[in-house]
Chain A
Amino acid sequence: MKRPWLFYSQLAFTLSVCAFLIVPVIMSMLAGVTENFFIGIKSGVTLRWVFEVFDLYSETIYLSLLIAVVCLLCTLMLGVPTAYVLAKKSGRAARVIEEFLVLPVAVPGLAIALALIVSYGGFRDFRTSWAFILVGHVLYTMPFMVRAVLAVLSSIDFKTLEEGAASLGAGFWTRFFGIILPNIRSGILAGALMVVTLSIGEFNLTWMLHTPLTKTLPVGLADSYASMRLEIGSAYTLVFLVMIVPLLVALQIFGAPTKHVAKIEDGGGKVQ
């Protein structure tokens, strides 16, 4: 069967949009492994710049990973119980809190950062430590964890499951760890991937909160583009992509657009 011209024009449109989005990324990655960007790829391919990035910026990579992991632990320990309590309470207060939790997503990162600096900037040791950035990241990513877990909680009849477990003699902690947590695993996983991805890539907040000694990867990236050879900035981007792409892929597989998470998801997913 001959495909109609409409099909080809749609295909061409889709491909050109994809190209528009992807070509700069590819160019940047190529630049990161090119001997001399101004001469072009024919000047030779090298990993020199990548090693240079590790020499200059490995601190920022480790700090980003450290903050992402600690941020994940914080959102897990705070966010999962919060979601559980919110799902359990049916009153208006719970709904209001739920809305408030989304505020950090709606408010620009810069504003949150300023608020943090105004509130806590006076505590010098805190201000100059990476914990300051961590607080910003936890604030910013918490809603995503809470939302993801809430979505799964509201898609299973967890109250009846808990009543069932209680009727069999299980106390609160036995129920929480043995019944609730295993049955909201998918939500926790989706939330966790989201939190790690967002934390590693976060720039707005972090740029305001960082000090010269507490630079994360995206801040270092901005710095290298501003002050280094283009090849180094590009190689840096390459490193960043290698770190973040597997996370994004995992997010697509386990994250929001799967089974019961997608049914309820209204707030958490759309921001991405």
Chain B
Amino acid sequence: MNNQGTAIRLEACAKTFANGVRALEPLDLEIAGGETVVLLGPSGCGKTTTLRIIAGLEEPDAGGRVFFDEDDVTALPIEKRNIGMVFQSYALFPNMTARENIAYGLRVRRLDRDALNARVHQMLEMMDIAELEHRRIDQLSGGQSQRVALARAIAVRPRVLLLDEPLTALDAFLRARLRVEIDRLLRSLGITAVYVTHDQGEAMSLGDRIVVMNEGRVVQVGTPRDIYYQPKTDFVAEFIGTINRIRGVVRGDRIECAAGHLPWSAGGSGEIEVLFRPEDVTLAAPEEACLKGRVVTSFFLGDRTKLILDGFGDREVVIETTDRREFKPGTEIAFRVDADALISLKG
């Protein structure tokens, strides 16, 4: 179908709104053909503005330029850019049936009737919504609506597919299911896709690369693994997953802290703050353990138990264990963390 995919390049794209608010600091971003890039960040971070600049719904401030492959599309309005877009609110046309919605972009392109019917049919099959063909939009559930919206966006064979929080309006179960479907769809189409979300789970599972944004700036760009295992800033570390912080002092090959010590091989000296993920902790007998804490709250999650511990200074520590014991509040817990699981932002 569309196997090369169109590369997208943003050059110095900034956005200042009419009321003077700077939504986006000058941004350079390259997205390779066929790649799925997720723009991730809290609301107001500029991710949606970035997407709308790519779509052509917002114009970048003077000096900013948008390229699709080598074409400068900065001056083109959205209807001339040949993109597909999926909205959080679906934006399906209430005056049309599901089928008419899917056919809309093809009709606008004046496709002849046979080609149009064939393409609509193909889309209905692909999204597994053939039985919804003649439904009115208000007779569709949220998940069905978003399937129709996806079919509608893809039907026109767009150069790039832009998705603006497409799953946010759905409940958790549907979100998980559609996430899998979207992933499969993007892989099979080989289309360049830009996906905006504030949900890190979606970002991790869908993105070839994740662009983490905050307050109008890009904070870090990398594969999901990079972002998770090697966060570059406090913001990224805190925003993606759960992270623990411990302050201590480096003494040779260990870090001494209030609750015990941690192994350390990166050298240096003096005060240091290290971070680790809850799942990188192993419970241990007190004599083998390096840190000790007391259970404040425990949550049994089925496959694992999440424990919130205190005794580490002003911040509590969250750990996860597959141990089947029941941990009552007040229980003393000893555990260790391997040296390679420790993250130091200064290092």
A positions within 8 Å CB-CB of B: 156-157, 160-161, 163-171, 174, 179, 182-183, 185
Contacts and interface: CB of A to CB of B under 8 A. Distances in A.
Contacts of B95: 179, 182-183, 185
B79 A171 contact: yes
A160 B90 CA distance: 9
Interface stretch (B7-15, B102-110, B263-271): B102-110
Best-buried of B80, B91, B94, B105 by chain A (most CB within 10 Å): B91
A163 B93 contact: no
Interface in B36-91: 55, 57, 77-80, 82-85, 87, 89, 91
A170 B85 CA distance: 13
B93 A169 contact: no
A160 B78 CA distance: 13
B104 A165 contact: yes
B8 to A, nearest CB: 15
Nearest to A91: B18
Contact of A161 (B57, B93, B108, B109): B93
A170 B91 CA distance: 14
9 contacts: A157-B91, A160-B89, A163-B57, A167-B78, A168-B156, A170-B105, A171-B79, A183-B93, A185-B95
Given A164-B85, A170-B104, A183-B94, 20 more contacts: A156-B94, A157-B91, A160-B87, A160-B89, A161-B94, A163-B78, A163-B85, A163-B87, A163-B91, A166-B79, A167-B55, A168-B84, A168-B105, A168-B156, A169-B79, A169-B80, A169-B109, A170-B79, A179-B93, A179-B95
A168 B55 contact: no
A85 B153 CA distance: 27
A182 B92 CA distance: 13
A45 to B, nearest CB: 50
Contact of A169 (B55, B105, B162): B105
Contacts of A164: 85, 87, 91-93
Contacts of A170: 79, 104-105, 108
A194 B85 CA distance: 39
Contacts of B57: 163, 166
Interface in B120-175: 152-153, 156, 162
Given A160-B89, A163-B87, A174-B108, A169 B94 contact: no
Contacts of A169: 79-80, 82, 105, 108-109, 156
Contacts, number: 61
Nearest to B158: A167
Contacts of A185: 95
A84 to B, nearest CB: 16
A160 B91 CA distance: 6
A185 B93 CA distance: 13
B91 A166 contact: no
Contact of A167 (B84, B92, B109): B84
Nearest to A182: B95
Nearest to A167: B85
A169 B109 CA distance: 7
A164 B101 CA distance: 10
Contacts of A182: 95
Nearest to B85: A167
Best-buried of A165, A169, A182 by chain B (most CB within 10 Å): A169
Best-buried of B79, B83, B85, B109 by chain A (most CB within 10 Å): B79
Contacts of B85: 163-164, 167
B83 A167 contact: yes
A166 B93 CA distance: 12
A179 B162 CA distance: 21
B77 A166 contact: yes
A26 to B, nearest CB: 43
A96 B82 CA distance: 38
Given A163-B78, A168-B152, A157 B105 contact: no
A166 B76 CA distance: 12
B213 to A, nearest CB: 21
A157 to B, nearest CB: 6
A178 B81 CA distance: 20
B86 to A, nearest CB: 9
Contacts of B93: 161, 164-165, 179, 183
Contacts of A168: 79, 84, 104-105, 108, 152-153, 156
A174 B93 CA distance: 13
Contacts of A179: 93, 95
Interface string B17-37: 000000000000000000000
A205 to B, nearest CB: 37
A168 B111 CA distance: 13
Contacts of A163: 57, 78, 85, 87, 91
Nearest 7 Cβ contacts at the A-B interface:
A164-B91, A168-B105, A167-B85, A182-B95, A160-B91, A169-B108, A166-B78
A170 B110 CA distance: 11
A70 B320 CA distance: 75
A41 B85 CA distance: 72
Interface in B218-256: none
Contacts of A165: 93, 104
Contacts of B89: 157, 160
Contacts of A157: 89, 91
Contacts of B87: 160, 163-164
B109 to A, nearest CB: 6
Best-buried of B80, B92, B95 by chain A (most CB within 10 Å): B95
Nearest to A170: B108
